[in-house]
Amino acid sequence: MKRLVILCITIMGFITVKAQDKGYQLGDLAADFKLKNVNEKMVSLTDYKDAKGYIVVFTCNTCPVSRAYEDRVEGLHKMFAAKGYPVVAINTNDPIVSPGDSFDQMQERAKSKKFTFAYLEDPNHVYTKKYGANKTPHVFVLQKTAKGNEVAYIGAIDNDQEMENPVRDNYVQNAVNQLLKGEKPTVGFTKAIGCSIKWKKAAGK
Amino acid sequence: MKKIVVILLLLISYVGLKAQVKLLTLNELEQRVAKGKDTTYVINFWATWCGPCVEELPYFEKLNAENSKLPIKVLLISMDFKSKIKEAVVPFVAKNQIRSEVFVASASNQQAFIDGVDKKWSGALPATLFINTQKKIKEFYEKEFSYTELATHIKRISNQ
């Protein structure tokens, strides 16, 4: 009997781990965090008292795709922070594997690009893994509900990385606008090319 | 005179190399693969800015070189920005003396391109597709490969 219980617990543990590996799906409740911002202050989602939701952007300093989107991320913050959807950016990369993503370099980038949104480090990729960000940039739009912060959109910022089309689908913008109107985003999940996460190397390697 | 010769040689190599990097749409890729009959295509999606991609490129080059007499073909499809072809892709191909066919993906709708390659692809790089129309084989991997892994895959697919 005892063995059976242990086996059951092991299996359950395995299933939970598996589910976590995949990260969040639409409708899941996203975890809050307490991570260091480029201004040295710790930031949590609960700090934004008037927020109706959040635009969580997993990104980095070094990826050309992320860099191509920096101004657009700043634009989203300017457009939506006052309306209750601030941008919270999280750097996904290990600073040893990717020195350009060290905390100093993040501070430097935030300063030179005049970011007005929070740009947080994520030591040991805890929240990158929990959310299931698998590339940069990778956006999770969260909606504050009575149950918690519900994942309402996962994917790309828009469908025009190089800004070459006069008409582009501004996925995040559309999703947040719909949420502000009390609607469910029509497009909840999108895909785009991004940079792989620069994961910390296992000790001894 | 010597200078002129050098410049001419540079120009020739530039023109020659430039011709090696062509734009490729999803439709063109599908047609190419369909025409291949018994050929096994190893299609690697990479970018000049993607560290792990650049690391594994020599393995694809080796695979292509060592199987030149067999119906095995490596296609390297760069996901670099189209505006960076001259500035990044062409010089990269020249510097690394890449012999496999190199393309830059041309996609007006990137999501349609990603899903068209494989529904399992999240969009992260590198990614590799093994495809053989005649044998109805299509295997997709969003990961890095070692040379041994590539060789094992090809051996298994060829024997199927």
**CATH code, domain with A159:** 3.40.30.10
DSSP structure class, residue A47:
G
- The torsion of the CA quartet A130, A133, A137, A141, rounded to 10 degrees, works out to -60
CA atoms of B79 and B103, how far apart (whole Å)? 9
- Evaluate whether residue A205 is within a structural domain: no
CB contact under 8 A, A162 and B83: yes
CB contact under 8 A, A193 and B79: yes
pTM: 0.84
Q: How many domains does chain A have?
A: 1
Mean pLDDT across A5-25: 59
Closest chain A C-alpha to B125 CA, distance in angstroms: 6
Q: Please write the tens of the pLDDT for every residue from A112-127.
A: 999 999 999 999 999 9
pLDDT class of B18 with cuts at 50, 70, 90 = very low
Q: For residue A165, what is the nearest residue in chain B, using CA coordinates?
A: B108
DSSP structure class, residue A123:
G
Q: Please write the tens of the pLDDT for every residue from B58-113.
A: 999 999 999 999 999 999 999 999 999 999 999 999 999 999 999 999 988 899 99
Q: For residue A192, what is the nearest residue in chain B, using CA coordinates?
A: B123
Q: How many Cα atoms within 13 Å fall on the side-chain side of residue A166? A: 0
CA atoms of A78 and A115, how far apart (whole Å)? 10
Mean pLDDT across A54-64: 97
Cα-based angle A26, A193, A180 (whole degrees, multiple of 5): 40
CB contact under 8 A, B124 and A161: no
Closest chain B C-alpha to A198 CA, distance in angstroms: 9
CB contact under 8 A, A198 and B51: yes
Q: Which CATH class, in words, describes the domain spanning B2-157?
A: alpha beta
Q: Is the pLDDT of residue A170 over 80?
A: yes
Q: How far is CA A78 from CA A89, A165, A173, B92, in A?
A: 14, 23, 12, 38
> Which tokens in the block code for residue A142?
């969260």
Closest chain B C-alpha to A41 CA, distance in angstroms: 31
Q: Is the pLDDT of residue A6 over 60?
A: no
Torsions phi, psi of B108, nearest 5? -75, -25
CB contact under 8 A, A64 and B49: yes
Q: For residue A154, what is the nearest residue in chain B, using CA coordinates?
A: B122
Closest chain B C-alpha to A136 CA, distance in angstroms: 8
Looking at the DSSP assignment, which residues form a beta bridge with residue A196?
A135
- Evaluate whether residue A16 is within a structural domain: no
Domain ranges of chain B: 2-157
Closest CA to B52 of B42, B60, B62, B64: B60
pLDDT the model gives residue A194: 94
pLDDT class of B19 with cuts at 50, 70, 90 = very low
Q: Which residues in chain A have Cβ-Cβ distances shorter than 8 Å to B79?
A: 193
- Quote the domain boundaries for residue A41: 23-196
Decide if A86 contacts A55 (C-beta within 8 A): yes
